[in-house]
Amino acid sequence: MADSVGYSDTPVIPGGTWRVHDGDRPQPRVVTPGGDAGGPPSDAVVLFDGSDLDQWTGRDGGAAAWKVENGYMEVNGSGDISTRAHFGDCQLHLEWATPEEVAGDSQGRGNSGVFLLGLYEIQVLDSFNNRTYADGSAASIYGQYPPLVNASRGPGQWQSYDIVFEAPSWDGDRLVKGTHLTVLHNGIVAHHRQEAVGPTGHRDLANYDSPHAVTGPVQLQDHGNPVRYRNIWIRRLTAYDES
């Protein structure tokens, strides 16, 4: 049943007719991705090269405690992790894999996520033959926009995100420019300079009414599923100060 994966009591997303997490919203078209790519370019800040979590902090700013082995890190229930460095406009590359052994369904299957500024989530999920609400599928701007297509590889396979993030800007309390996201999933365009409605929410819509910092950490979500990450690098697109 379509409504078994979503909600019908949530707000309508502006500019359309779909509700947040609408169970009836059409599923993204499935596209099979091509080959591999993605080594760090010379000007990248390498956030994870497979060896350690020195660039990351865990819950409450303590040491990041995800498992590191065989060139990848793995979610282990110790909480979200965040980069020590902060970034504004940036290009981010990372690779991820959901568990080879499939468990759970909908939002409970291989759920993690990549948060830019610690606020805007690009969903990580096993979306290979796993129906969920479209705006919560892999490569969605969570709760706002499904990916243009479903470019998912199967469970256990390495997948890539290449994300171009443009931070919002305000003049006082007046929004000058909203957050814009371009996302490639396995090399396939999932979002083309899509403007976010606001920071990510769950069963609700955020907005830009409260200005927030225009730099922040990259945050990876611990949603209780043992999702793996490797080869994470980032390039600053403007000369924001680190903090």
Interface residues toward Mg ion, by CB under 5 A: 111, 113, 123, 221
What are the tokens at 129? 């033959």
Q: Please, what is the minimum distance in Å from the beta carbon of residue 96 to Mg ion?
A: 11
Q: What is the DSSP letter of 60?
A: G
CB of 155 to Mg ion, least distance (A): 16
The neighbouring-strand residues paired with 211 are none
Shorter beta-carbon distance to Mg ion: residue 111 or 160: 111
Which residues lie below 8 Å from residue 98, measured CB to CB, with a gap of 6+? Answer: 109, 110, 124, 125, 126, 155, 156, 225, 227
Q: Which residue is nearest to Mg ion (CB)?
A: 113
C-beta closer to Mg ion: residue 113 or 155: 113
Least CB distance to Mg ion at residue 73 (A): 16
In the complex with Mg ion, the residue whose CB is nearer, 124 or 164, is: 124
In whole angstroms, the minimum distance from the beta carbon of 100 to Mg ion comes to 19
Query: What's the closest the beta carbon of residue 105 comes to Mg ion, in angstroms?
Result: 15
Nearer to Mg ion, 123 or 144 (CB): 123
CB 137 within 8 Å of CB 113: no
Query: Which residue, 113 or 217, is less far from Mg ion as judged by CB?
Result: 113
